[in-house]
Amino acid sequence: MTQVCLQQLNKVFRGKGLVHAVKDLNLEIASGRITALLGPSGCGKTTTLKMIAGLLQPSSGDITFDGKSVLRIPPEKRGASMVFQNYLLFPYMSVGENVAFGLRMRHEDKKVIRKKVAEMLELVRLPGFEDRRPKQLSGGQQQRVALARALVIGPEVLLLDEPISNLDAHLRDEMRELIVSIQRELGITTIFVTHDQEEAVVLADKIALMFDGVLHQFDEPNVFYQRPASVKIARFFGGVNFLKGRKRGTQVETCLGVMNVDPQPIADGPVVLTIRPENLKLGEEGENRVRAVVRSRVYCGTHARYKVEADGCHFELVTDAANMQCFQEGDLVPLRFPREKIWLLPPEE
Amino acid sequence: MVSVAKTQPEELSESMGAQERDASRSRWGRVFSYGVMVAIVVAVLLPLVPIFIWAFAGRWFYPDLLPEQLSLRAWQYVLSPASKALDAARVGGTIALVATVLSLVVGIPAGRALALYKFRGRQLVQFLILAPVIVPSLAVLMGIHIAFIRFGLAGTATGVTIAHLIGTTPYVVMVMSSVFSNYNPEFEEQARTLGAGPVRTFLHICFPMILPGVVVAGMFAFIISWGQYIVTLLISGGRVITVPLLLVNFASATDKPVTAALCLVFLIPSILIIIVTSKYLTGEEAALGGFGK
């Protein structure tokens, strides 16, 4: 159980000009939990991961494990083992030798190594795979061997680079369950990097969202859906409905009229009103209702997706199959914004 | 949904078509590569046939196609101390071995740096390393010889070895930089996070992965040094005798059987090396992109 702390962490790369990959990053990563570093590619998340592993030296700032700075500890002694995105199984070693590598580097007894390797392969559900070659394994199996190899040395911190985004859809669920169950069993502090918000949401206890080397929001997954901190974050998490307005108390003036909202922690003045597609109500009368024209409808089995237009403003919404009233393209229907589902954001610069 | 249903059969037939094309391409490709292989083997081995016959020839007069009688006279002479052939092989072999090891010591890090790191002046370094391949060595040998006389290296095996490095190092650097350009240094990062220090990371991770390339580069270096004539002659002033020096001597002395036998001695390392390393050149993880698959 190790608490990982990043303090005012900076990384500047000298290449063609200076690239400020990570800027003033402060992050307190809870012991024994899974934390995601999320962001589009090139946002500095893998750089951050490699700095935690000790593979990159920060330009300034500090990294602490349980309050002790680890900057002067080389990667092989830091106790943070990493699983790379492309697994990196050593091709000239068998599966068993791959898993045993870290133990061999620690000069463990041969019998102990054999026993631990067998146990670990069982844990990742590959019992008896010791003598296979990495080439004979599928991508999912290679991934699990890489995970076993990282875990067998009993690291203080487990670092994962895009742990499931390389896998086929049907393997992702399996791998996610495996990672979560192993993590819960061993209680190891786990940090992973991903560009895929879905992967972050299903795996992580907490998500740190980064854009261009800057931390934008650090919260539990559901907060990113219900109370994102900015329009950019809302968009990254699949938000599509945005309406400019001006807030005054619990009312927001918009081009579609006045909307009533719950009290929210944002100052009066210009705001952006947002509501998730699954929360908009089509065909319902009541408070915060406007008239909209159905522009398109896609039936998806369990739900239907609509695109509607009201006074030149476009909205997308999802209705579930249970109470699915069927509307056709061109229908003029009421569109309701439930007040408790509206979230106000600061306007974009 | 509709679009998915539409694209699937197309993709399927496309991939099948691609497979068929691949199959026919590989069939003709195989015929072609076998043809080329046979041609190369014939071109390399055919000139050796008369040498082989000469080395065992006793009486052989025009216009006989084959010698009248066979004899081991040439071999008896070549293997006797009088011919100094074994001495020359020992001296030449030692020089070639040392030159190989030294050029690997320089060439492995240099090849790695050129392939993996971007630094200022990289292209200049690349050019300077390759320069000895482009510039005829004879042109610079005079200058080197004068410098070596001053340092007391002229006429010594050490001097000859150092001069051979000029020829061997560029090849080793070339081979190693091509090996390292297909090398993923993240394997080393992976090993570090698993608890291997820098030295053990090199020994357990980097070295096994580049080993085929090291073998090929070493083979190049050894054969280049083993076959050097003019460099050895000029730097040693005839005081360090290697096999090619001896061979030229005998070749000008018109004892054909002895010359032929010495030729075969001269070829032994090449043949041994090719046999030993053929595994690396044709194996699945071939050391050189162009040589393998």
Interface confidence (ipTM) of the complex:
0.83
CA distance B190 to chain A (A): 7
One domain for residues A258 and A341:
yes
Contact between A11 and A31 under an 8 Å Cβ cutoff? The reply is no
One domain for residues A107 and A41:
yes
CATH code of the domain containing A281: 2.40.50.140
Domain over B82-282 is classified CATH 1.50.10.10: no
Is residue A54 within 8 angstroms of chain B, CB to CB?
A: yes
Last residue of a domain, one of A207, A231, A255: A231
Tell me which residue range forms the domain holding A302: 241-345
Cα A329 from chain centroid?
A: 36
SS3 content of chain B, % helix, strand, coil (to 5): 75, 0, 20
pLDDT of amino acid A199:
87
Q: Would you state the structure tokens that stand for residue B167, as one six-digit string?
A: 């020829």
Is residue B292 predicted with pLDDT exceeding 90?
Answer: no
Nearest to B193 among A80, A86, A91 (CB): A80
pLDDT of amino acid B289:
42
One domain for residues A221 and A91:
yes
One domain for residues A325 and A199:
no
A323 located within any domain: yes
Quote the mean pLDDT of chain A.
90
* Residues listed for chain B: 293
Domain spans of chain B, in order of start: 82-282
Q: Do B193 and A159 touch (CB under 8 A)?
A: yes
One domain for residues A297 and A328:
yes
One domain for residues A160 and A272:
no
Nearest-angstrom CA–CA distance, A253 and A245: 5
Q: Is the dihedral of CA B13, B15, B16, B22 positive or negative?
A: positive
| Minimum mean pLDDT range among A114-118, A184-188, B2-6 | B2-6
CB atoms within 10 A of CB B198: 14
Is residue A242 predicted with pLDDT exceeding 90?
Answer: yes
- Looking at the structure of chain A, the number of domains it has is 2
CA angle B39, B45, B46 (to 5 degrees): 85
Q: Do A101 and B187 touch (CB under 8 A)?
A: no
Q: Do B194 and A80 touch (CB under 8 A)?
A: no
One domain for residues A18 and A165:
yes
Q: Which of A315, A310, A308 is nearest to A277 (CA)?
A: A315
- Which residues, at least 6 apart from A64, have a Cβ–Cβ distance to it below 8 Å? A4, A5, A7, A70
Partners of B194 on chain A (C-beta within 8 Å) are 76, 81, 101-102, 105, 149-150, 153
> Inter-axis angle of helices B157-181 and B85-116, to 10 degrees?
40
Best of B193, B200, B203 to disrupt the A interface by mutation (most A CBs within 10 Å)?
Answer: B193
Is residue B288 predicted with pLDDT exceeding 50?
Answer: no
CATH code of the domain containing A54: 3.40.50.300
Tell me which residue has tokens 């670092």.
Answer: A159
Tell me which residue has tokens 């303090």.
Answer: A7
Is residue A17 within 8 angstroms of chain B, CB to CB?
A: no
pLDDT of amino acid B279:
65
One domain for residues A167 and A261:
no
Is residue A75 within 8 angstroms of chain B, CB to CB?
A: yes
Last residue of a domain, one of A231, A253, A276: A231
A10 located within any domain: yes
- Give the tens place of pLDDT for each residue, A122-167: 999 999 999 999 999 998 899 999 999 999 999 999 999 988 877 8
* DSSP code of residue A131: T
Q: Would you state the structure tokens that stand for residue A309, as one six-digit string?
A: 């237009």
Q: Would you state the structure tokens that stand for residue A161, as one six-digit string?
A: 């680079």
Nearest to B193 among A75, A86, A106 (CB): A75
Nearest to B193 among A53, A90, A106 (CB): A53
CA distance A105 to chain B (A): 6
Burial profile A51-65: b = 16 or more Cβ within 10 angstroms, e = fewer: bbbbbbebbebebbb
A236 located within any domain: no
Cα B118 from chain centroid?
A: 28
- Give the tens place of pLDDT for each residue, A95-119: 999 999 999 999 999 999 999 999 9
One domain for residues A65 and A167:
yes
Last residue of a domain, one of A197, A231, A265: A231
pLDDT of amino acid B4:
40
Q: Do B193 and A81 touch (CB under 8 A)?
A: yes
Is residue B14 predicted with pLDDT exceeding 50?
Answer: no
H or E segment and range at residue A334: strand A332-336
Comparing alpha-carbon positions, the chain B residue that sits nearest to A53 is: B193
One domain for residues A70 and A119:
yes
Partners of B196 on chain A (C-beta within 8 Å) are 76, 101, 105
Partners of B284 on chain A (C-beta within 8 Å) are none
Is residue B17 predicted with pLDDT exceeding 60?
Answer: no
pLDDT of amino acid B97:
96
pLDDT of amino acid A172:
84
